[in-house]
Structure 1
């Protein structure tokens, strides 16, 4: 039993350390010079990487990200930021570039406006 407790403690420490490291990637991000408009930046990124593959199009059971209304659901429940910015397991084909992730982060930090 003691070994199991130590193992769980160790796994938790590693998990917390690795999760914290991922957040540091955006720690010093300055959004003042980054275009983070939904219409000109975010929607084209989502269309090119998430909806064109059929994963999150209007017919998808994985969630429709073709509209602002569909995307804001993922913003509000935290899955967009978690999956795209931190675990980076979305989009499935390949992770977005740091520059694209920074644009998304700045848009999210601005309150995910419909601009």
Structure 2
């Protein structure tokens, strides 16, 4: 777990009658009081969560897409970059750039 998760776990483990301050807890864990309170109130998510939300395909869609590519490759029809781009365009119903294809291939090297 990271520092933020440790601090949040410490807050959650307190009895509801126990008093705490975000500043004191943030000082203990060496982090920003603002970040801690925003994460505790779920106003601000993690960077990893934000990155997932910004992806063109959801993690499930991407997983299914990879399975489809593996299936094509096993049949002897490995898709080209253009084919990957066209498949993704059909799924999301909007234009998919070359940069997305590059990032997709990098994320799914295996």
TM, length-normalised to structure 2: 0.28
Q: Is the helix fraction higher in 1 or 2?
A: 2
TM, length-normalised to structure 1: 0.28
Question: Which has the larger Rg?
Answer: 2
